[in-house]
Amino acid sequence: MIDRQHVRNFSIIAHIDHGKSTLADRFIQICGGLSEREMEEQVLDSMDLERERGITIKAQSVSLEYKARNGETYQLNLIDTPGHVDFSYEVSRSLAACEGALLVVDAAQGVEAQSVANCYTAIEQGLEVMPVLNKIDLPAAEPERVIHEIEEIIGIEAGDAVRVSAKTGEGVVDLLESLINKIPAPEGNPGASLRALIVDSWFDNYVGVISLVRVVDGRLGRREKIRIMSTGRNFQVEKLGVFSPKPVGRDFLQAGDVGFVIAGIKDIEGAPVGDTITRADQPVSEPLPGFMMVQPRVFAGLFPVSSDDYENLREALQKLRLNDAALHYEPETSTALGFGFRCGFLGMLHMEIVQERLEREYDLDLITTAPTVIYEVLTALGETLQIDNPASLPPANQIEEIREPIIEANILVPQDYLGAVITLCVEKRGVQKNMQYLGSQVSLSYELPMSEIVLDFFDRLKSVSRGYASFDYHFVRFQAAPLVKLDILINTERVDALSVIVHRDVAQSRGRALAAKMKELIPRQMYEVAIQAAIGSQIIARTNVKAMRKNVTAKCYGGDVTRKRKLLEKQKAGKKRMKQFGKVEIPQAAFLAVLRVDND
C-alpha cells in the first residue's frame, strides 16, 4: 500500500479534440496499466458515441503506479471529467475529488471557453492548475502565442508549461515528473469519521450501482455499513477497489484514495453524484459541500413514429435512466403525435445524445418536438406553475406573468468576429455584463434568455465566428418577460406539438417565418394543406401547400411487378418519419422547423 504522501489525485481539463483521451492513454501505457494487447486506443472514452463525437459523457477514473526518477513509486489517480457545457455540475464534482488539474491546451488552436470555465471551477476549488501544451509536434503549433493566451485569459503563470505531444509520446514522462512535484498530496484525516464524495455513479446489470468515490476523511472498508447522506439510506459495502484501469479489489480505501464502491444500491438515484457517503454507525453531521440535485433545463417531447413502439420507448428510457440521473421523462399525450414522453435534459447536447442512443441502440424511430426551456408562470389566482411544454401554457387571460430562465454566457472570441458576435447576442435579447480584451481574444459575458440558446444560438455563434468563438453558460435566475404562445394551425386545427413560446416583439415575424418554413417542409399531398400561425385567436400569417396533381404510375406492363413494388416501398419509407394529422402527413423536420427559421 502506498502512503498518502505518494498519492496524486488530478483531472485533465481540455477542450474537445485537444487531446485529453490520447494523453490519458499515454499515462496508462507508461505506467503499465495495460499490456500492449489490452491497450485499445483511447481507453477512457468507452462508449461508442463518446468515441465518435470525442466527448466524454460519464466520468471514469484510473489509478496508476508510477515509478518516478527519484526512485519512489507514486499512485496517480486520474479522474476523468465530462467535456461539455451541459455537464458542468459533473465536472465540478470530478474536480472536487482532486488536488490538481492539468489544463491541456492545443498548441495550435489556443484556449477555448469551455476550458476557461472548467479552469475557473478548478481554481475556485483551490486546485493546483498545471498548464500543458499538447500537439507541439504539429507544424501549426505556436507555443509562445498560446502561453501568452493562457496567461492573459486564464490568468495563471504558464511560462513553464510542459510541452508534450500525446500522439508521439514526446514530453509525457517530463509531464508526469512535473506533476508529482507540483500537485500536492491529498490532505484529510484518516482517523476521522468517514466522509467520501460520490464523483460518479453508473449502473451495472450484475452488481447494481457502482460509484466512483474520493475518500476525504476516514476509512471505508469492506462489509461496513454506509449511509448516503442526502437520502439517509443505509447500505452494506459488498466490494471496493481501484481501477488500474481494470477493476482491482481492495479491503479498504482511506483518506486521499479514489476508488469504486459497490453496495447493493439498486437504482442510480440511490447514489447521486456529489453526495456524501458516511458510516452508518458513526455518521458525520455535515456532508461535503457542493451537492445539488441536477435539474433538467431543456425539454422536448419524444414520440414513437409507430404507436406500437410506445412500450419499447418506455423501456429504452428506463434503461438509459439507469445510468443517467439527469434524464427525466414522463408520459405525454399530444393530439397531434399521440402517446409519447416529455423528456428533460441538461442541455442540447445531452438531448442529442439521448435521442441518438434511443435510435441507434434501441432501434426506435422517433419524432422529436422542438426543444423548449422551463417557464415559471404566475397565474391570476396567484399560483406558480412550472411549464415545460408550450402546449400546457394556460390561456392568456389566466396568466399574470411568465418568467423565463436567464443564463449567463461566457464567450471567447477573436477580435475579428467581435462585432458579429455582439450583433448576435443583441438579436437574441442579450444584456452585456462584461467585456475584456485578452490579447487577440475578447472575453464577453452576456445574460441571455435560455430559450434563445436552446433554439440555435450555438450554431449561429459558430457560423458568425467561422467556428472560432467558444462559449459556456450557467443558469442565473427566472425573470419576467412579455412572452406569448405562438400556435401553428394545420387545416384550421391547432397542432399542439408545434406551439412555441416567443417574445412578443418577435412573435409576428417568427410566426410568418415559421409558416413559410412549414410550407417548405410539408410535402405536397393528396389534399391542399392550409398553414396558419396564430397568437391566441388572432391569425398572424397564412400560407398553403397545394395538393399534388396526381400520384399514379403510368405504365405497368410486361408482368414485372417488382419495380412497381419497389417504388411503393420507397414511397412508404419516405412516410416513415411522417405523422398523420387528420388527412395531412407532417414530416419530422416540420416539428423542428422553429429551430431553423432564423437560419435563412
Partner 1 sequence: MFHFTAPPPLSLYVHIPWCVRKCPYCDFNSHELCGAIPEQAYVDALIADLEQDLPRVWGRTVETVFIGGGTPSLFSPAAISRLLSELRARLPLKPAAEITLEANPGTVDQERFRGFREAGINRLSIGIQSFERSLLQRIGRIHDDREALGAVRAAQQAGFDNINLDLMFSLPGQTLDQALEDLHTALDLRPAHISWYELTIEPNTWFHRHPPERPSDELSWNMHEQGRRTLAAGGYTRYEVSAYSRGQNLCRHNLNYWRFGDYLGIGAGAHAKITDAGQQSVTRITKTRHPRAYLEQAADRCRIASENRLDANDVTLEFALNALRLDHGFSVEEFCAATGLPFSATAKPVNAALEQGLLQNNNGNIGTTARGQRYLNEVLQYWLTDTQAHARTGKP
In the bound complex, what is the minimum distance in angstroms from residue 18's beta carbon to partner 1?
39
Q: Does 285 bind partner 1 (CB under 8 A)?
A: no
Helix (H) or strand (E) holding 25: helix 20-30
Q: List b or e across 274-304, with b for residues whose CB sees 16 or more CB atoms inside 10 angstroms.
A: bbbbbbbeebbeebbeebeebebbbbbbbbb
Q: Does 554 bind partner 1 (CB under 8 A)?
A: yes
Q: Does 548 bind partner 1 (CB under 8 A)?
A: yes
Contact residue for partner 1 among 397, 538, 573, 600 (CB under 8 A)? 573
Q: Which stretch binds partner 1 (CB under 8 A): 78-86, 175-183, 254-262, 546-554?
A: 546-554
Q: Which stretch binds partner 1 (CB under 8 A): 41-49, 60-68, 262-270, 545-553?
A: 545-553
Distance CA 98, CA 49 (A): 27
| Full DSSP string of 38-102 | T--SSSS--SHHHHHHT---S--EEEEEEE-TTS-EEEEEEE----SGGGHHHHHHHHHT-SEEE
Q: Which stretch binds partner 1 (CB under 8 A): 71-79, 173-181, 221-229, 548-556?
A: 548-556
Distance CA 328, CA 298 (A): 10
In the bound complex, what is the minimum distance in angstroms from residue 551's beta carbon to partner 1?
5
Contact residue for partner 1 among 568, 590, 594, 600 (CB under 8 A)? 568
Distance CA 168, CA 23 (A): 10
Q: Which is nearer to partner 1, 36 or 560 (CB)?
A: 560
In the bound complex, what is the minimum distance in angstroms from residue 578's beta carbon to partner 1?
11
CA 381 to chain centroid: 37
Distance CA 129, CA 293 (A): 27
Contact residue for partner 1 among 36, 40, 286, 560 (CB under 8 A)? 560
In the bound complex, what is the minimum distance in angstroms from residue 311's beta carbon to partner 1?
15
Q: What residues between 371 and 410 interact with partner 1 by CB under 8 A?
A: none
Q: Does 528 bind partner 1 (CB under 8 A)?
A: no
Q: Which stretch binds partner 1 (CB under 8 A): 120-128, 279-287, 478-486, 569-577?
A: 569-577
In the bound complex, what is the minimum distance in angstroms from residue 359's beta carbon to partner 1?
12
With CB under 8 A as the rule, give the number of residues binding partner 1.
32
Q: Does 1 bind partner 1 (CB under 8 A)?
A: no
Q: List b or e across 249-264, with b for residues whose CB sees 16 or more CB atoms inside 10 angstroms.
A: ebeebbbbbbbbbbbe
Contact residue for partner 1 among 35, 70, 537, 551 (CB under 8 A)? 551
Contact residue for partner 1 among 181, 556, 580, 599 (CB under 8 A)? 556
The count of other CB atoms within 10 Å of the CB of residue 575 is 13
SS3 259: strand
Amino acid in position 283: P
Q: Does 315 bind partner 1 (CB under 8 A)?
A: no
Q: Which three cell numbers stand for residue 550?
A: 396526381
Contact residue for partner 1 among 70, 537, 538, 553 (CB under 8 A)? 553
Q: Does 572 bind partner 1 (CB under 8 A)?
A: yes
In the bound complex, what is the minimum distance in angstroms from residue 60's beta carbon to partner 1?
33
Nearest-5° Cα angle at 530, 525 to 533: 135
Q: Which is nearer to partner 1, 246 or 360 (CB)?
A: 360
Cis geometry, peptide bond prior to residue 283 (ω within 30 degrees of 0): no
Q: Which is nearer to partner 1, 477 or 563 (CB)?
A: 563
Distance CA 87, CA 449 (A): 19
Q: Which stretch binds partner 1 (CB under 8 A): 86-94, 348-356, 391-399, 547-555?
A: 547-555
Q: Which stretch binds partner 1 (CB under 8 A): 113-121, 146-154, 438-446, 572-580?
A: 572-580
Contact residue for partner 1 among 139, 395, 537, 549 (CB under 8 A)? 549
Q: Does 576 bind partner 1 (CB under 8 A)?
A: yes
Q: Which three cell numbers stand for residue 83?
A: 467535456
SS3 149: helix
Distance CA 430, CA 334 (A): 33
Distance CA 209, CA 207 (A): 7
Q: Does 575 bind partner 1 (CB under 8 A)?
A: yes
Q: Which is nearer to partner 1, 223 or 555 (CB)?
A: 555
Q: Grid cell 465536472 — which residue?
A: 91
Burial class of 462 by CB neighbour count within 10 A (0 to 12, 13 to 18, 19+): middle
In the bound complex, what is the minimum distance in angstroms from residue 549's beta carbon to partner 1?
4
With beta carbons less than 8 A apart as the criterion, state whether 446 and 430 touch: yes
Q: Which is nearer to partner 1, 292 or 556 (CB)?
A: 556
Q: What residues between 329 and 368 interact with partner 1 by CB under 8 A?
A: 363
Q: Which stretch binds partner 1 (CB under 8 A): 410-418, 419-427, 469-477, 562-570?
A: 562-570
How far, CA to CA in Å, does 94 sit from each of 98, 162, 169?
A: 7, 23, 26
SS3 labels along 513-538 = HHHHHHHHHCCCCCCCEEEEEEECCE
With beta carbons less than 8 A apart as the criterion, state whether 253 and 259 touch: yes
Contact residue for partner 1 among 168, 236, 295, 571 (CB under 8 A)? 571
Which residues of this protein are in contact with partner 1, per CB under 8 A?
Answer: 306, 308, 363, 525-526, 548-565, 567-569, 571-573, 575-576, 583
